[in-house]
Amino acid sequence: MNIVQCTFCKKPFASLGGRACPACLEQIDKDFITVRDYIYEHKHSNIDIIAKETEVSKQIIMHLLKEGRLIIDSPDGDGLLVCEMCKKQINTGRLCKECMGKVSSSMDKNVTANKKPEPKPEVPNIKGSAKIGN
38: left (phi over 0), alpha (psi -120 to 50) or beta: alpha
The rounded distance, in Å, linking the Cα atoms of 9 and 92 is: 24
Judged by CB under 5 A, does residue 14 bind Zn ion? Answer: no
Among 4, 71, 83, 130, binds Zn ion (CB under 5 A): 83
Please give the size of the binding site for Zn ion, defined by CB under 5 A: 11
The rounded distance, in Å, linking the Cα atoms of 27 and 109 is: 38
Cβ-based nearer residue to Zn ion, 49 or 99? 99
Judged by CB under 5 A, does residue 21 bind Zn ion? Answer: yes
Among 49, 71, 99, 132, binds Zn ion (CB under 5 A): 99
Q: What CA dihedral angle connects 94, 100, 106 and 107, to 10 degrees?
A: 60
Judged by CB under 5 A, does residue 9 bind Zn ion? Answer: yes
Of the candidate spans 4-12, 47-55, 115-123, 124-132, the one that interacts with Zn ion by CB under 5 A turns out to be 4-12
Judged by CB under 5 A, does residue 25 bind Zn ion? Answer: no
Long-range contacts (CB closer than 8 Å, 24 or more residues apart) made by 8-17: 8/59, 8/60, 8/63
The rounded distance, in Å, linking the Cα atoms of 30 and 32 is: 5
Cβ-based nearer residue to Zn ion, 39 or 62? 62
Q: Could you list the residues that contact Zn ion (CB under 5 A)? A: 6, 8-9, 21, 24, 83, 85-86, 88, 96, 99
